[in-house]
Amino acid sequence: MKKYVLRRLLQLIPILLVITFLSFGMMRLAGSDAVLQKMENTGMAVSQEAVDAARAELGLDKPFLTQYFVWLGNLLRGDMGTSYISGQDVFETFVSKLPATLLLTAVSILLTILVSLPLGVLAAVKQNRLTDYLIRTASFLGNSMPNFFVGLLLMYFFAIRLDWFPVISREATLQSVILPAMTLAIAMSAKYLRQVRAAVLDELSKDYVAGAKARGVRFSVTLTKSVLRSCLVTILTLLTLSIGSLLGGTAIVESIFMWDGVGKLAVDAINMRDYPMIQAYVMWMAILYVCVNLVTDLSYRILDPRIRPGGEKA
């Protein structure tokens, strides 16, 4: 186990280096840079000398590789740089947005579990009955509607018509997080309950379920202690991947509800060509997904002792 964890951590180094290099290069392929974007937003005519001076101050006049290695060296020393647009420290700005993203992630995952797990199990138990058809139809509808459409519907009915929740999220409170969390949970639940249903049906078709029934074991006991436990690996994989994507921020939903999280921060940084802020977001996402995948692999061993670290069957 220790060797496997150490090997995975060592694999993190080249992966992060490649990700940072590629993202750094793709940003430089954009049609403009931070200086031109900032000058255009002022609406004032600026001389070329002023633009060149601003580029030199930010280090954008240097060759690409020089810019990359300067940034990488500062990062290794714990310095993520200063925002080209706001002039604030990138790390402090990024950390200030994390509480809102963590709150949105936690509420969305909780709602997804409360909806997808019981409905998925119920659809599997009631296979090819009216209940199963209704749940699958609702799943199809929820999965086919894009997040921005669901968000606008929820905003219209619950915020504008009923006035239960605020239209715009001015602060990270429980009341403000309900609508964006519901928007994310509807799409995730629609997808995951079908996965849960398929996993439970696969387990119900195995011989040990028929054997337990023949021995007089109650179906509810077999379902909770054997079937669901065997499905935990699949359910855990789905949830951890969702946690990774949610912690990275959901740009569309956060922009609709003006939720001041990491996703909205990344979109604003991309629009303004704020390279240090974009690179901080890229590093956050890269480290996040590698760590989430590592924790998921290690948790397989706890949930199913037959699975060895690395995905090998015992």
297 found inside a domain = no
Question: Are residues 120 and 185 part of one domain?
Answer: yes
The arithmetic mean of pLDDT across residues 176-205, rounded, is 87
User: Measured between alpha carbons, how far is 30 from 183 in angstroms, rounded to an integer?
Assistant: 32
The arithmetic mean of pLDDT across residues 296-303, rounded, is 70
163 found inside a domain = yes
Question: Are residues 50 and 123 part of one domain?
Answer: no
100 and 181 in contact (C-beta within 8 Å)?
no
91 found inside a domain = no
The answer to which of 19-23, 35-39, 49-53 has the lowest mean pLDDT is: 35-39
Determine how many CB atoms are found less than 10 A away from the CB of residue 79: 14
Core vs surface per residue 272-281: b (16+ CB within 10 A) or e? bbbbbbbbbb
Residue 154 has pLDDT above 80, yes or no: yes
Tokens of 192: 């995951």
257 and 151 in contact (C-beta within 8 Å)?
yes
Residue 314 has pLDDT above 50, yes or no: no
Residue 131 has pLDDT above 60, yes or no: yes
211 found inside a domain = yes
242 found inside a domain = yes
Residue with the bigger pLDDT between 72 and 33: it is 72
Question: Are residues 253 and 136 part of one domain?
Answer: yes
Q: How far is CA 103 from CA 83, 107, 113, in A?
A: 25, 6, 16
Residue 92 has pLDDT above 70, yes or no: yes
Greatest CA separation for the chain: 87
User: Measured between alpha carbons, how far is 155 from 259 in angstroms, rounded to an integer?
Assistant: 13
Task: Choose from 77-81, 198-202, 231-235 the range with maximum mean pLDDT.
Answer: 198-202
Question: Are residues 250 and 102 part of one domain?
Answer: yes
Question: Are residues 258 and 132 part of one domain?
Answer: yes
What CATH number corresponds to the domain at position 198? 1.10.3720.10
Q: Please state, rounded to an integer, the average pLDDT across all residues of the chain.
A: 79
pTM of the model: 0.76
Question: Are residues 257 and 157 part of one domain?
Answer: yes
Residue 128 has pLDDT above 50, yes or no: yes
81 found inside a domain = no
Task: Choose from 9-18, 146-155, 272-281 the range with maximum mean pLDDT.
Answer: 146-155
Reference 116, options 185, 186, 189, 191; nearest CA is 189
User: Measured between alpha carbons, how far is 70 from 43 in angstroms, rounded to an integer?
Assistant: 32
Residue 42 has pLDDT above 60, yes or no: no
Question: Are residues 232 and 161 part of one domain?
Answer: yes
**Number of structural domains found in the chain:** 2
Question: Are residues 130 and 25 part of one domain?
Answer: no
User: Measured between alpha carbons, how far is 235 from 226 in angstroms, rounded to an integer?
Assistant: 14
40 found inside a domain = yes
Query: Which residue range forms the structural domain that includes residue 60?
Result: 2-76
Question: Are residues 243 and 126 part of one domain?
Answer: yes
In a 13 Å sphere around the CA of 314, the CA atoms on its Cβ side amount to 8
Question: Are residues 103 and 72 part of one domain?
Answer: no
pLDDT given at position 130: 92
